Amino acid sequence: MRRPSGSKKAERFTESVIREMTRLSHEHGGVNLSQGFPDFPAPDAIKAAAYEAIQDDINQYAVTWGAAPLREAVAREFTRRYGVPVDADEQVTVCCGSTEAMITTLLASVDPGDEVIVFEPFYENYGPDAILSDAVPRYVTLREPDWTFDPDELAAAFNDKTRAVIINSPNNPTGKVFTPDELETIARLCQHWDVLAVTDEIYEHIIYDGVRHVPMVAIDGMADRTVTINSLSKTFSVTGWRVGWTIAPAALTGAIRKVHDFLTVGAAAPLQAAGAAALGSPESYYRDLAAGYERRRNLLLEILERHQFVCYRPSGAYYVMTDLAAFDVTDDVEFARTLVREVGVAAVPGSSFYRNADLGRTKLRFCFCKQDATLQEADRRLAKFGVQATS
Ligand code: GLN
In-domain check, residue 64: yes
Residue 165: phi and psi, rounded to 5, are -125, 135
Q: 3-state class of 111 per DSSP?
A: coil
- The per-residue pLDDT for 3 is 67
Distance 351 CA to ligand 1 centre (A): 15
- The per-residue pLDDT for 67 is 98
The DSSP secondary-structure symbol of 341 reads: I
Residues 190 and 263 reside in one and the same domain: yes
Q: Give the number of domains in the chain.
A: 2
In-domain check, residue 232: yes
Distance 123 CA to ligand 1 centre (A): 8
Nearest C-alpha to atom 1 of ligand 1 is from which residue?
Answer: 36
Nearest C-alpha to atom 2 of ligand 1 is from which residue?
Answer: 36
The secondary structure element, H or E, covering residue 31 is strand 31-32
Residues 17 and 117 reside in one and the same domain: no
Distance 289 CA to ligand 1 centre (A): 19
User: Is the predicted pLDDT of residue 391 greater than 50, yes or no?
Assistant: no
Residues 14 and 97 reside in one and the same domain: no
In-domain check, residue 352: yes
Decide which of 217, 252, 278 is a domain's last residue.
Answer: 278
Q: Report the DSSP pairing between strands 345-346 and 31-32.
A: parallel
| Cis peptide bond prior to 270, omega within 30° of 0 | no
Instruction: Show Cβ contacts of residue 153 under 8 Å, excluding neighbours closer than 6 positions.
Output: 140, 141
**Helix orientation angle between 372-386 and 283-306, rounded to the nearest 10 degrees:** 10
In-domain check, residue 111: yes
CATH assignment of the domain containing 198: 3.40.640.10
Confidence of residue 384 (pLDDT cuts 50, 70, 90): confident
Q: Distance between CA atoms of 378 and 62, rounded to whole angstroms?
A: 42
User: How would you class 123 by CB atoms within 10 Å of its CB: exposed for 0-12, middle for 13-18, buried for 19 or more?
Assistant: buried
How many other CB atoms are there within 10 angstroms of residue 182's CB atom?
Answer: 19
In-domain check, residue 1: no
Pocket test for ligand 1, best of 26, 95, 123 (most atoms within 8 A of CB): 123
**For residue range 165-222, what is the model confidence (pLDDT) as tens digits?**
999 999 999 999 999 999 999 999 999 999 999 999 999 999 999 999 999 999 999 9
In-domain check, residue 307: yes
Distance 159 CA to ligand 1 centre (A): 31
Residues 255 and 339 reside in one and the same domain: no
Pocket test for ligand 1, best of 33, 35, 318 (most atoms within 8 A of CB): 35
Residues 225 and 308 reside in one and the same domain: no
Distance 2 CA to ligand 1 centre (A): 34
Q: Distance between CA atoms of 160 and 194, rounded to whole angstroms?
A: 8
Higher pLDDT, 1 or 228: 228
Q: Distance between CA atoms of 321 and 173, rounded to whole angstroms?
A: 6
In-domain check, residue 309: yes
Distance 35 CA to ligand 1 centre (A): 5
Distance 36 CA to ligand 1 centre (A): 5
Residues 33 and 72 reside in one and the same domain: no
Residues 224 and 353 reside in one and the same domain: no
In-domain check, residue 22: yes
Residues 127 and 183 reside in one and the same domain: yes
Decide which of 278, 309, 341 is a domain's last residue.
Answer: 278
Q: Distance between CA atoms of 259 and 103, rounded to whole angstroms?
A: 9
User: Is the CA virtual torsion 352, 339, 368, 211 positive or negative?
Assistant: negative
CATH assignment of the domain containing 298: 3.90.1150.10
Q: What pTM value is reported for the model?
A: 0.96
- Nearest-atom number in ligand 1 for the CA of 348 is 10
| Cis peptide bond prior to 121, omega within 30° of 0 | yes
- The per-residue pLDDT for 386 is 64
| Cis peptide bond prior to 170, omega within 30° of 0 | yes
Nearest C-alpha to atom 3 of ligand 1 is from which residue?
Answer: 36
**For residue range 270-319, what is the model confidence (pLDDT) as tens digits?**
999 999 999 999 999 999 999 999 999 999 999 999 999 999 999 999 99
User: Is the CA virtual torsion 159, 164, 167, 173 positive or negative?
Assistant: negative
Ligand 1 interacting residues, C-beta cut-off 6 A: 18-19, 35-36, 99, 123, 172
Look at the chain and count its residues.
391
Nearest C-alpha to atom 4 of ligand 1 is from which residue?
Answer: 36
Distance 232 CA to ligand 1 centre (A): 14
Residues 224 and 335 reside in one and the same domain: no
Residues 140 and 220 reside in one and the same domain: yes
Residues 157 and 259 reside in one and the same domain: yes
Decide which of 278, 296, 318 is a domain's last residue.
Answer: 278
Amino acid, single-letter form, for residue 294: E
Give the mean pLDDT of 94-107: 98
**For residue range 214-253, what is the model confidence (pLDDT) as tens digits?**
999 999 999 999 999 999 999 999 999 999 999 999 999 9
Q: Would you say 245 and 260 are in contact if contact means Cβ atoms under 8 Å apart?
A: no
- The per-residue pLDDT for 1 is 66
Domain boundaries, position 28: 10-42+284-385
Q: In whole angstroms, how large is the CA radius of gyration of the chain? A: 21
In whole angstroms, what separates CA 12 from the centre of its chain?
22
Residues 293 and 273 reside in one and the same domain: no
